[in-house]
Amino acid sequence: MLLENESLWRMSVFAGVLLVMALLEAIFPRKARVMGRPLRWLTNLGIVVIDTIAMRLVVPVLAMGFAAMAAQNGWGLINLFEAPGWIEFIVALLLLDMAIYWQHVLSHKIPILWALHKVHHADRDIDTTTGLRFHPVEIILSMIYKIFWVLVLGPSVVAVFIFELLLNACALFNHANVKIPRPVDRFIRLLIVTPDMHRVHHSVIPEETNSNYGFNLSVWDRLFGSYIDQPQEGHDAMTIGLPQYQTTKPANLLWCLVVPFMPERSLETPSAGAREDEGVT
């Protein structure tokens, strides 16, 4: 039943969380925008449409389908042990979330992956639609990566289903330009990545871009030493995006699709320590 209605559930959660966060951004904005909303949103939502089409064409069987296959054949580490279903469910969610954390780290450290991932970071404002802004090739590689871990771990179909819903919802939440009172933010980020925590990751300062990789659980950044509490310049004054793309180009849909394939100067990783005019974050 989950496989048959997967698209409906995913679209419902996506649309619902996107609408709620967009409304909250309008009522309680955290940071002043530097670009107009209409063109950015048209571009970011346009990327989602292209991503969806690309996924259906290139990877027609998604992670949930492989989870069902693994369950039928007893594949995966989780299936090697006898444990109550609820324990297997929690373990699966934790391990999948940690896998996504390391995927994000690798997307900053490996040049060819950074070339794709910088489309996400080039957005000069950060709001809930930024959580949707990923190059279609990166989205396809991400799904292949998730399928690999589904086959290795052997989580249940329900666990993969819930994980993907949480991952999408959290991406919309933690990219949102929403002002959350500091005490509330500090409490929430004990477990979940908050907008203020993730905004640090979108700073043009390399040390900050190479931090706060988590999308859902905040524990991984603390555990693996990549946590930064607040941006050096403060949230109001910090610059979002990539130094070399502080123009209107990142709001152009065609630019977003072709920039990973531009000359090699744009392919440096954010940890390369290049000069500011070469731009690495």
Residue 49's pLDDT is 95
pLDDT above 50: residue 22 = yes
In a domain, 273, yes or no: no
In a domain, 129, yes or no: yes
Contact 188, 194 (CB under 8 A): yes
Q: How far is it, in rounded angstroms, from Cα 119 to Cα 107?
A: 12
pLDDT above 90: residue 221 = yes
**pLDDT (mean) for 96-106:** 98
In a domain, 132, yes or no: yes
Total domain count, the chain: 1
pLDDT above 50: residue 276 = no
Structural domain that includes position 163? 6-267
User: Is the entire prediction scored with pTM above 0.85?
Assistant: yes
Residue 265's pLDDT is 53
In a domain, 115, yes or no: yes
Q: How far is it, in rounded angstroms, from Cα 121 to Cα 245?
A: 10
In a domain, 124, yes or no: yes
Residue-wise pLDDT for 130-169, tens only, equals 999 999 999 999 999 999 999 999 999 999 999 999 999 9
Beta bridge mates, 178 = 29
The conformation of residue 260, written as its DSSP 8-state character, comes to G
In a domain, 256, yes or no: yes
Residue 3's pLDDT is 62
In a domain, 95, yes or no: yes
What are the backbone dihedrals phi and psi of residue 192, each rounded to the nearest 5 degrees, phi first?
-115, 140
The conformation of residue 262, written as its DSSP 8-state character, comes to S
